[in-house]
Structure 1
Amino acid sequence: MSNLDQYSSRREQAGVVIVFYRPDHACVSRANRLAQVWPCVVVDNTESASTPAALGLNARIDYVANSANLGIATALNQGIERLMAAGCTSALLFDQDSEPSTELLEGLPRLLDAELGRGAQVALIGPAYEDARLGGVAPFVRFGYLKLRRVPPVGTRPVDVDFLISSGSCINLAVWREIGPMEDALFIDFVDLEWCIRARSKGYAVLGAPGLRLAHELGGEPVRIFGRPYPSHSPVRHYYLFRNAVALIKRSYIPWSWKSTEIVKFPFRLAIYGLFLQPRFEHVRMAMIGIWHGLTGRMGPLNQR
């Protein structure tokens, strides 16, 4: 029996999915706090199997130990399926290091319900994210040819956007089957973007909630380039970023407004990796392998042997 069964008689129908990867004590504490608000599934992609008791997880949390890094897409799909089986109608998705407020945890499902009550066809709603290292609250994004269009998160009415990062977003599970799950083959990077594009291609809205914020660190420690902070990642993450970008550019349902923006960014990203990130050669090498694998259709997890 799932630990979520105890919630079956509750009026609230939202649930939480948190993806773990080598979590520390702070990650466990966050999960335990979130489980006080909504039913919660933790999907652990750590390579070594653990147990809820060993980690110190609240007994109410439904814990899934994959004993392997199956990627963010697969882990989110697993958690969402568990929530749907427990009768939840919306799913709040979080990385293990996200710091959602109680206002966000309660406000996003409420906003989603309000929009659906107005007759809107909504797939996803999410907050503006705030990373103090990168200059504060980030704008929402609409695709534009050669350059993304920034939408300031002001006011209280939800705004139509082209995509949201997965962490902090709230999915309308009533349309999950029609849109389909996150794409396992992408593994990580652009998983959320591809799902949002697919949802919009089927006529569903992706909405930003400008009145809500999520404290979320995007990537590793930023590097400063000409005085401006720029998010950094490991060479392996840059492999996935380039590979998946190339793979998506090849697809007909992906809009050319996004494709053109990514193509323009390629040389600038490679220059940044080669000049400002250490080890420089490894960052560029992994990016180039990613481009090759994207062109040749090699997807799924990277085999580093």
Structure 2
Amino acid sequence: MVFYHPDLHCIDRANRLATWCRCIVVDNTPDRETRERTEALLDDSVVYLPNCANAGIATALNQGIERLIGDGFEFAVLFDQDSESTLELVSGLAAAAQECIARRERVALVGPAYEDSRLRGVAPFVRFGYFRLRRIIPTGDAPVEVDFLISSGSCLNLACWQEIGPMDDTLFIDLVDTEWCMRAKSRGFSVLGLPWISMSHELGEEPIEVFGRKYPMHSAIRHYYLFRNTICLLKRRYVPWTWKSTEVIKLPARLIIYACFAPEGWAHVKMALRGVWHGLTGRMDVPPRG
């Protein structure tokens, strides 16, 4: 579980998770006082790894996964601090992954359907198509081949970690999970959605309404990373043309939505355009400035 300025609910989630399995918390909170409070409130069974800085989601996930591999575990279930876990979720994910491996399937990742009550209920699974995403309603009791899963709530087969490689630290936060799934599939592994398992997860910040439809929203800084990383991935050979064709259409549409519907829309547009420029020029190590 990755922390960043966690509140008491986040700490409770980690403590609850520790009663079911080995729980590792990687904390990206820079503030020393908050880290000390967090460590004091975490159960003694939780492995607490403070970074003392915001090292990004990719680095934090890599640290936790490497710790589990070093301790001899076979699977890692990844969680954001605001995702609700249950014993049924954790055990169901691990059992499904084990069944796939027993059938000699080259599975890298399995994950549940997720529900954000602020948006449209249970989100569909996704496959990439030319100029559009193919959405698959999560029904039935058989795994569904998908093109990516969000990292939170997903169960990673650690046996394939060395062959696929770690999360891309240079991406820092946005599209980290998407890139890893595309890289895994390019190397012959499968990514599977499990429609009979669901998880409560809030995607981004408070949604905005666009022509009567709820649209997930992030901060301007997050939009910098989204646009920068999208441009970066468009240049990579293993990234499928189906994904690339869709993103070429979605990028200008996002800019219009930010400009017309987001509070302080110009700040979002400015940061997104800066992300485009840095992506085009390969400036992946330059911190964004508001």
Confirm or deny: 8 A CA contact 2:39 2:48 kept in the other structure. no
Query: What RMSD in Å do the two structures reach over aligned CA positions?
Result: 1.1
Indicate the residue corresponding to 1:34 in structure 2.
17
Indicate the residue corresponding to 1:20 in structure 2.
3
Q: CA deviation at 1:51?
A: 3.9
Indicate the residue corresponding to 2:166 in structure 1.
181
Q: CA deviation at 1:242?
A: 0.4
Distance 1:93 1:152 in 2: 23
Distance 1:298 1:34 in 2: 38
Match of 1:193 among 164, 175, 178: 178
Q: Which deviations, in whole Å up to 9, do the C-alpha atoms of 1:182-227 show, x marking residues without a partner? A: 0000001100000000100110000000000010000100011111
* Aligned length in residues: 288
Indicate the residue corresponding to 1:226 in structure 2.
211
1:139 maps onto 2:124 in alignment: yes
For normalisation by structure 2, the TM-score amounts to: 0.97
Distance 2:104 2:37 in 1: 41
Indicate the residue corresponding to 2:89 in structure 1.
104
Match of 1:158 among 140, 143, 150: 143
Distance 1:304 1:281 in 2: 14
Q: CA deviation at 1:52?
A: 7.2
Distance 2:165 2:156 in 1: 12
Letter in 1 for 2:255: L
Indicate the residue corresponding to 1:211 in structure 2.
196
Q: Which deviations, in whole Å up to 9, do the C-alpha atoms of 1:135-174 show, x marking residues without a partner? A: 1000000000000000110101111000000000000000
- Partner of 1:134, secondary structure, is coil
Distance 1:301 1:240 in 2: 11
1:125 maps onto 2:106 in alignment: no
Q: CA deviation at 1:304?
A: 2.3
- Partner of 1:221, secondary structure, is strand
Identify which range, 51-60 or 156-165, moves more after superposition.
Answer: 51-60
Q: CA deviation at 1:20?
A: 0.1
Match of 2:59 among 65, 74, 86: 74
Indicate the residue corresponding to 1:47 in structure 2.
30
1:58 maps onto 2:52 in alignment: no
Indicate the residue corresponding to 2:280 in structure 1.
295
Indicate the residue corresponding to 1:13 in structure 2.
none
Confirm or deny: 8 A CA contact 1:130 1:216 kept in the other structure. yes
- Partner of 1:175, secondary structure, is helix
Q: CA deviation at 1:236?
A: 0.4
Moved over 3 A (4+): 51-55
For normalisation by structure 1, the TM-score amounts to: 0.92
Q: CA deviation at 1:300?
A: 3.8
Q: Which deviations, in whole Å up to 9, do the C-alpha atoms of 1:79-127 show, x marking residues without a partner? A: 0011111111000000000002221111000000001001111000000
Match of 2:260 among 272, 275, 300: 275
Identity over the aligned pairs, expressed in percent?
58
Aligned in 2, Cα 1:302/1:179: closer, same or farther, shift over 3 Å?
Answer: same
Identify which range, 294-303 or 87-96, moves more after superposition.
Answer: 294-303
Indicate the residue corresponding to 1:242 in structure 2.
227
Q: Which deviations, in whole Å up to 9, do the C-alpha atoms of 1:255-278 show, x marking residues without a partner? A: 010000000011110000001111
Distance 1:27 1:242 in 2: 29
Distance 1:52 1:109 in 2: 32
Aligned in 2, Cα 1:53/1:132: closer, same or farther, shift over 3 Å?
Answer: closer
Letter in 1 for 2:27: D
